[in-house]
Amino acid sequence: MYHRLQALVLKTGVSAEADKTVLLFTREWGKVSAVVPGAKKIKAKLSAAAEPVLECDFSVYLKTPNARSRVTGVRILNGFSSLRSDWRRFCMAQHCSEICDALTMYNSENAMKYDLLGRTWELLEKAENPKRIVLAFTMRFLKLSGYSFLDYIKRGNLQTTRSVYDVLLKISTMSGEALDADEGMDDSILSEVESCLEGYLNLYLTRPLHSKKFMSKIAVMEKQLAAAN
């Protein structure tokens, strides 16, 4: 049976000699995996859609409910071109994708999660302070997954300073645009917030996030280069 799915491409992989797999977060079915036939070929019609950080309208064929979907057609709705021209922002977008993958079960529909991830990718394209956008995404996605960080603190599981808690409250309630434009945000406190939130997130991850490891290695290399100069 053929289906139309609106989906965010979380990640891609190799399926066969000429095929690719895509992990999709769809509005209709939640997280699903699909095969893109012939996507590794240079002139393949479907190859453009077999890349991460895209929003597409997919046509898929599903033979049985338990079978993997097969992509038969695609229309790109948003290519997030500004992210692809800035590797740091693209890494942040993939970081959000990894969180979505790690905290979402297969075939678990959640339109609020879908909208949150898509909106976060849009904000990362133009934000002056993209790190704030990623922190806000992490807090809100955790809450939608049933792991509210603020509730965790309120239950006395983690002691924080008042200034850190106030920033966490801002991050969890302000709109992305307002958060990005907030000139009163203290970057030193933001680093402490990031550390606390990362520790909490790791409680629910079964494996380290590849994007986080990559960005950490780059940061170390940049410090070494700066020290050498």
Is 220 within 8 Å of 172 (Cβ atoms)? no
**pLDDT > 80? residue 43:** no
Q: What is the location of CATH 2.40.50.140 in the chain?
A: 2-81
Q: What is the location of CATH 1.20.1440.120 in the chain?
A: 83-205
**pLDDT > 70? residue 92:** yes
Residue among 134, 132, 123, 133 nearest 82 (CA): 123
Highest CATH level, class, for 2-81? mainly beta
Q: What pLDDT digit, counting tens, does each position of 171-189 carry?
A: 999 999 999 999 888 878 9
- pLDDT of amino acid 40: 82
**Which whole number is the average pLDDT over 65-85?**
89
Percentage of residues in the chain having pLDDT higher than 70: 99
**Which whole number is the average pLDDT over 38-45?**
81
**pLDDT > 90? residue 133:** yes
Percentage of residues in the chain having pLDDT higher than 90: 71
Looking at every residue in the chain, the average pLDDT score rounds to: 91
Kindly report the backbone phi and psi dihedral angles of residue 140, in degrees, each rounded to the nearest multiple of 5, phi listed first. Answer: -75, -35
Q: Of 6-10, 44-48, 66-70, which has the strongest mean pLDDT? A: 6-10
Q: Does domain 83-205 have CATH number 1.20.1440.120?
A: yes
Is 99 within 8 Å of 91 (Cβ atoms)? no
